[in-house]
Amino acid sequence: MRRPDYRLGIDVGGTNTDAVIMDAADRVIAKAKVPCTPDITGGITAAIDAVLRAPDVTPSRITHVMLGTTHATNAVLERRHLRRVAAIRLGGPATHSVRPMFGWPRDLAEAVSVGAIIVDGGIEFDGRELSPLDTDAIARFLGDVGEATEGVAITSVFAPVSSRHELEAAEVVKRELGEVHISLSHEIGSIGLLERENATILNGALVGVARDVADAVRQALTTHRLAPATFFAQNDGTLMALDHALRYPVLTIGSGPANSVRGAAFLTGNSDSLVVDVGGTSTDVGVLVNGFPRESSLGVEIGGILTNFRMPDLVTIALGGGTVVTQGPNGLQLGPRSVGYLLTQQALVFGGNIPTLTDAAVAAGRAELGDPAPTGRYRRILTEALARADTMLADAIDRMKTSKEDRALVAVGGGSILVPDRIPGVSEVIRPDHFDTANAVGAAIASVSGQIDRIFHMGTEGRQAALDEACNEASEHAVAAGADPATVSIVELEEIPLAYLTTPSVRIRAKAAGSLGGMAPPPAIRGTGESAPARRAGQVGGHLTGHVEELRRKP
Amino acid sequence: MKRLLDPDSLRALSRGSAVLGAGGGGDAYVTLLQALQATEDFGPVPLVDLDELPDDALVMPCAGVGATTVILEKFENGDEGARLREHLEFVTERQVAALMAIEIGGGNALLPITWAARIGLPVVDADGIGRAFPEIPQVTMHLAGIPASPAVMTDERGNLVVFRTISGDWMERLARAAAVEFGGAASAALFSLTAAKARGATVRNSVSKAISIGETLAAATGSPVDALLAKMGAFQLASGKVLDVERHTTSGFVRGSVVIEGLGEDAGRLIRLELQNENLVALERGRVLASVPDLITVLDAETADAISTEVLRYGQRVTAIAFACDPVWRTERGVAVAGPRAFGYDFDYVPVEELAGATT
C-alpha cells in the first residue's frame, strides 16, 4: 500500500453526495457537494469529478479513498436492490422456540428470504459442542431452496466463542452451490443469537448494494486513471478495507452519522463535545466522547429488525434546511416535508415559491443567501417557524446531555446555518471551516479498527490474562483491516461477568483502532489512569435516551 | 378464565415483568419472542385464577435456571415444558392442570406461556415471588413450607434429571451444577403443588399486575415515569445519570454496585445501588433508602423501561424507584429468607414507605 498522500473522502447521503480531498497534513484542499441522483452513480461521479477538477488538486497524488454511505440503510428501509438469502442456523435441538426471521416485517422477509432452517449443531458457552453438526440437513436444505439463492447466511449458537461449526457449514455450502456469497455471523455481530442472525441475513441481502456503490466509485476513478486503495467507513466511525466491506456490507450501516461526528471532532480539534449535524431534511444530535461518537448501549432496529450493532447514539429530529413551512388550518405547520435537494430552486430566497427554514434563517439574519426580499411577505410565519425550530433543537440537545453543565456544541452540515448562536445549556456554538462537508472529512480522516466481543473463561491465569487476550485479538483484527501496527491502541474495553456459572466467565468487548501508515494515532482509552480497575468496565459508552427515527432500538 | 393472553398482552407483560424484575430475572426479549411464536403457532394461552381450578389440581411452577447471558445465545427448543410435565406427572402420579411462573420478574414470567401454548394447558394468574430473587429457596412456596422436591430438570436435547433433595439449599447447589453441565442454562419444574395449597402459598394476580404495568407505560400521555410511580405507589429515589458501574462474580453470582449522580432536582446527590443479579440496597451517604425484599428498579428516565443490571452503563439517564414487595416477604420468615441479612448486610429491614417518610 502506498504511503498516504492525498485522501478522497466521499459521503453519499440521502440528499447530497459530498466529497473532499485532504492532503497529508490533513488540510482540506478541495470540496464539493452535489445533489444525489436516483441511481447514486451520477451523484458519486459528479462529486468526484468536481473535486478532481479543483485548482490545487493533482489527481495522481490521491492514494486513498474513504467512502461513507447511508445507502445500505435506505435499501433496507425501501426494500430495494436486496439479494435473496438462504438462512441456516446451527443450534438444534436448542433455539427452535424462535425461528429465523420471526417478527420481521412480512414484506422485508419476503424480499430477502428464499428459506430458513435450524439444523443440529452449534457451540456451548464453554466451547463444547452443543450437538454434532448435521451437514446432511444443510445439503438437503440447499437442494430444496435451489436456484433462487443469491447468498447464504450462517449463524451458529455461540459463534463468538468458537466459529468452527460456521466454517464447517460454509464448506458444505461451497460444495453444494459453488461460488455463492456466504455471510458468517462470527465475523459480523456479537453475543445475542437473534440479533446477530438478523444482521447476518441482512448482510447477505446487502451485498449487491455495496457492490453498486463500490463500482460507481471505481468507475468514476478509472475515468481519471486512478486506482487508489479504497476503504468503507463503518458504523463506529472507523474504516475497513474494500474487500472486507464487500463481504460485510451490513457493517457500513450507520456510517453516515458516525462520519459527521468524527468530522466535527477533527475540524474543531475537540474530542469531547456535543455535535449537531443539520442536513436538508433531518438533524442528528450526537455526542463526541474521546474522539469517537458515543454509542447506543442497546441494539438498534433497522427497518423493523432488531440487530446488536453498536451504533452512534443519536437523537434525530425532522428538521433541516429544506423543511417546508406552511400555514395550515391548525396553525403553523413545520415539516416533516422537505424540498430536499431542490432547495436551490424552490426556496423563496432562491426565487422559488415554497417557504422553508432556510428562508426563515435568512430573514432572521442568521445567514446571507440568495435574495432575502421575497421573505418579507412571510415574515410572521417564518419568525414563528424559526422559534419553534430553535425549541425543538434545544430539546434534542438537552436529551443528549449527560450533565447539567453547559457544553460546547459543534454545528456541521449544510443546514447548520439554522442553528442559533445562543442555545440553553450550550456554552458556545462552534462553526468550523468546511462545516458543510464534515461527514466527508470524517470519512477521510477515519482510523482503522478491529473489535471482538466474546466470552472468556478465567482459568488459572485469571482476569488480567483474559483482558490481555481480548485486547491482543482486537489489535490483530485492526491490523488485518489495514491499520499500522505501530499506532494501534485499545479505544474501548468493557467486561461483563456471567451470573450463575460455577466457572468464572466474563464477556469482554474490546475495540482497537490505528491509523493508516503515516497518519496521527487515534486517542487512547479514557479512564485507564483511574483507581479501580473495574472503572474501565462501562466507562466508555452510551446512554439509553438516544434514538434514531429509522434506526430504533428494541421496545 | 380471566383472559386470553394475546400478543398485545404478552408485550405488556414483558415490559411489566421487567419492572418487577428489580434489575434481574433475565432479558425478557427472547422470552417474549418465544411466547409470541408459540401463540402464533398454537393459539393464545388462557390465564386462569387459582380459584377456577379444582382443589386437588396440580400446578407446575416453571423456571429457566442458569446464566441469563447464555439464554441470549442458546434458548429453548420449546418442547422442554411438555417433557417436564410428563415426568412430573410420572413422579407425582398426578395430572398437571396448569403452569405457573416461578417468578414474575424478568424473562421467567413468559416462559410458562411458551410451554403452555404447546401443551394446551392454562397459566395461572400467580407466581412464586412477586418479583425476582437470585436463589431457588427465595420463593413464597418455600416460606409456606412446600418442598422444592420432587423437581425435574431438562435440557433441549432430552436429558432429564429428577431431584429429591433434603432442603432448598441443596436444591440450589445441585440444580446449579446440573445447569452448568447442560451448557449454562436449563429448564426446570420445582415446588409443584395443588391449587388448594397454591392459593395460600403464591403471590396472586401477579400476571395481571405485570400486564397492567406494561399497559400503563404504553398508554402514558405525559411522563411514563410519573405514570408508573402513581400506578405502583412507588417512591422515586433519584433521577440522574449512571456515574459508575462495578461488577464482579462471586460464587456464581454477579455482585457489584452502581452509582447514580442526581441531575435536575436531584443535583448534588449520589445514590449507590448494591446488586447481586437484582438490585438489593439503595444507599445515600451511608443511609439506607430502600432494601430487599422491597423492589428497587432502575428505569430509563425517558421511556420508564426497566434497565436490567447487566446493561447498566456509564452515562445512561435513569430514574431509580423503589416500591413495596408482597406482604409475605415482610413477615419474620420472609425477611429471614430475603431481607438484608440474608444477603450479608448488617442492618435490619425497614419498609420503603417508612424510610421514605423519614426522608421527607
Min CA distance, A461 vs chain B (Å)?
A: 16
Can you tell me the mean pLDDT for B222-239?
A: 93
Q: Would the CB atoms of A158 and B263 count as touching at under 8 Å?
A: no
Q: Would the CB atoms of B249 and A497 count as touching at under 8 Å?
A: yes
Q: Would the CB atoms of B75 and A122 count as touching at under 8 Å?
A: no
Confidence category of residue B251, pLDDT binned at 50, 70, 90: low
Print the SS3 string covering B93-146.
CCCEEEEEECCCCHHHHCHHHHHHHHHCCCEEEEECCCCCCCCCCCCHHHHCCC
The predicted pLDDT at position A309 comes to 73
DSSP A285-302: EEEEETTEEPBPSS-BEE
Which residues in chain A touch residue B157, judged by CB atoms under 8 angstroms apart? 93, 131
Architecture of B222-359 per CATH? Beta Barrel (2.40)
Could you tell me which CATH number the domain at A81-209 has?
Answer: 3.40.50
Which residues in chain B touch residue A91, judged by CB atoms under 8 angstroms apart? 74
C-alpha cell at A176: 453444494
Confidence category of residue B223, pLDDT binned at 50, 70, 90: confident
Which residues in chain B touch residue A499, judged by CB atoms under 8 angstroms apart? 67-69, 134, 249, 252-254, 277
With cell 432556510, the residue in question is A358
Min CA distance, A131 vs chain B (Å)?
A: 8
Q: Which among B78, B134, B248 has CB closest to A96?
A: B78
Q: Would the CB atoms of B77 and A507 count as touching at under 8 Å?
A: no
The predicted pLDDT at position B358 comes to 62
Which residues in chain A touch residue B300, judged by CB atoms under 8 angstroms apart? 544-545
The predicted pLDDT at position B335 comes to 97
Q: How far apart are CA A228 and CA A59, in angstroms?
A: 10
DSSP structure class, residue A85: E
Q: Which among A91, A507, A535 has CB closest to B69?
A: A507
Can you tell me the mean pLDDT for B205-231?
A: 93
The predicted pLDDT at position A541 comes to 25
Print the SS3 string covering B179-234.
HHHCCCEEEEECCCEEHHHHHHHCEECHHHHHHHHHHHHHHCCCCHHHHHHHHHCC
Q: Return the axis-axis angle of helices A193-223 and A71-78, rounded to nearest 10°.
A: 120
With cell 497518519, the residue in question is A519
Per-block average pLDDT, block size 10, for chain A (555 residues)?
Answer: 81 86 91 83 91 89 89 80 96 97 92 96 91 97 90 95 94 94 89 92 93 89 89 85 85 83 89 88 84 72 75 82 87 83 88 94 92 92 94 85 80 92 92 92 87 76 83 88 84 72 74 70 36 26 24 28
Q: Would the CB atoms of A125 and B66 count as touching at under 8 Å?
A: no
Tell me the residue type at A38: P
The predicted pLDDT at position B359 comes to 52
Q: Which region holds residue A331: left if phi is over 0, alpha if psi is between -120 and 50, else beta?
A: left
Q: Return the axis-axis angle of helices B7-20 and B28-42, rounded to nearest 10°.
A: 160
Size of interface A-B (CB pairs under 8 A): 182
Domain locations in chain A as residue ranges: 81-209, 269-441+541-555, 448-521
Confidence category of residue B360, pLDDT binned at 50, 70, 90: very low
**Residue in A89, A96, A97, A306 to test binding to B, most B beta-carbons within 10 Å:** A97
**CB B95 within 8 Å of CB B131:** no
Which among A124, A75, A29 is positioned nearest to A444, based on CA atoms?
A29
DSSP structure class, residue B265: G
**CB A393 within 8 Å of CB A300:** no
Contacts of A256 (CB under 8 A, 6+ apart): A11, A13, A68, A69, A70, A73, A439
DSSP structure class, residue A239: E
Q: How far apart are CA A220 and CA A42, in angstroms?
A: 9
Whole-number Cα distances in Å, A58 to A31, A42, A53, A54, B119: 14, 23, 9, 9, 73
**CB B202 within 8 Å of CB B128:** yes
Q: Would you give the distance in Å from CA A264 to the centre of its chain?
A: 15
Query: What residues are paired with B108 via a beta bridge?
Result: none
Using DSSP's 3-state secondary structure scheme, residue B327 falls into helix
Tell me the residue type at B203: V
Min CA distance, A134 vs chain B (Å)?
A: 14
Q: Would the CB atoms of A541 and B245 count as touching at under 8 Å?
A: no
Q: Would the CB atoms of B241 and A402 count as touching at under 8 Å?
A: yes
Domain B3-206 identical in fold to domain B222-359: no
Q: What is the pLDDT of residues B53-64, one digit of tens each?
A: 999 999 999 999
Q: How far apart are CA B332 and CA B319, in angstroms?
A: 31
Can you tell me the mean pLDDT for B87-104?
A: 96
**CB A286 within 8 Å of CB A256:** no
Min CA distance, B67 vs chain A (Å)?
A: 5
Task: Tell me whether 0.90 is exceeded by the ipTM.
Answer: yes
Which among B222, B240, B224, B192 is positioned nearest to B92, based on CA atoms?
B192
The predicted pLDDT at position A500 comes to 55
Q: Which among B68, B73, B114 has CB closest to A97?
A: B114
Chain A residue whose CA is closest to B298: A544
Chain A residue whose CA is closest to B172: A500
pLDDT above 90: percentage of residues in chain B: 77
Using DSSP's 3-state secondary structure scheme, residue A517 falls into coil
- CB contacts under 8 A, A 132-191 vs B, are 157-158, 191
Q: Would the CB atoms of B313 and A97 count as touching at under 8 Å?
A: no
DSSP structure class, residue A442: H
DSSP structure class, residue B284: E
Q: How far apart are CA B44 and CA B114, in angstroms?
A: 10
Whole-number Cα distances in Å, B194 to A46, B47, B83, B119, B315: 76, 17, 20, 19, 48
User: Does residue A502 belong to the interface with chain B, where contact is any CB pair within 8 Å?
Assistant: yes
First and final C-alpha spacing in chain A: 45
- CB contacts under 8 A, A 48-107 vs B, are 91-99, 102-103
Angle at A286 between CA A281 and CA A288, to 5 degrees: 145
Q: Which among A96, A124, A507 has CB closest to B183?
A: A124
Q: How far apart are CA A191 and CA B313, in angstroms?
A: 17
Which residues in chain A touch residue B183, judged by CB atoms under 8 angstroms apart? 124-126, 128, 130
Q: Would you give the distance in Å from CA A119 to the centre of its chain?
A: 32
Min CA distance, B182 vs chain A (Å)?
A: 9
Whole-number Cα distances in Å, B269 to B262, B289, B316, B322, B352: 5, 13, 16, 17, 19
The predicted pLDDT at position A396 comes to 84
Using DSSP's 3-state secondary structure scheme, residue A136 falls into helix
The predicted pLDDT at position A517 comes to 59
Which among A333, A159, A124 is positioned nearest to B185, based on CA atoms?
A124
Q: Return the axis-axis angle of helices A193-223 and A41-52, rounded to nearest 10°.
A: 50
The CATH class, in words, for B3-206 is: alpha beta
C-alpha cell at B95: 395430572
The predicted pLDDT at position A144 comes to 93
**CB B155 within 8 Å of CB B45:** no
Q: Which among A95, A130, A539 has CB closest to B314?
A: A539
Q: Would the CB atoms of B76 and A97 count as touching at under 8 Å?
A: yes
Min CA distance, A398 vs chain B (Å)?
A: 11
**CB A267 within 8 Å of CB A435:** yes
Give the β-pairing of A426-430 and A505-514. unpaired
Q: How far apart are CA A412 and CA A417, in angstroms?
A: 9
- Reported as type and span, the H/E element at residue A166 is helix A164-177
Q: What letters, b where the CB count within 10 A reaches 16 and e where it falls short, cover A415-434?
A: bbbbbbeebeebeebbbbeb
State whether the Cα torsion A133-A137-A138-A139 is positive or negative: positive
Q: Spell out where B294-353 has E strands.
A: 295-300, 317-323
Which residues in chain B touch residue A495, judged by CB atoms under 8 angstroms apart? 247
**CB A213 within 8 Å of CB A81:** no
DSSP structure class, residue A473: H
Chain B residue whose CA is closest to A160: B73
Give the β-pairing of A448-457 and A505-514. antiparallel
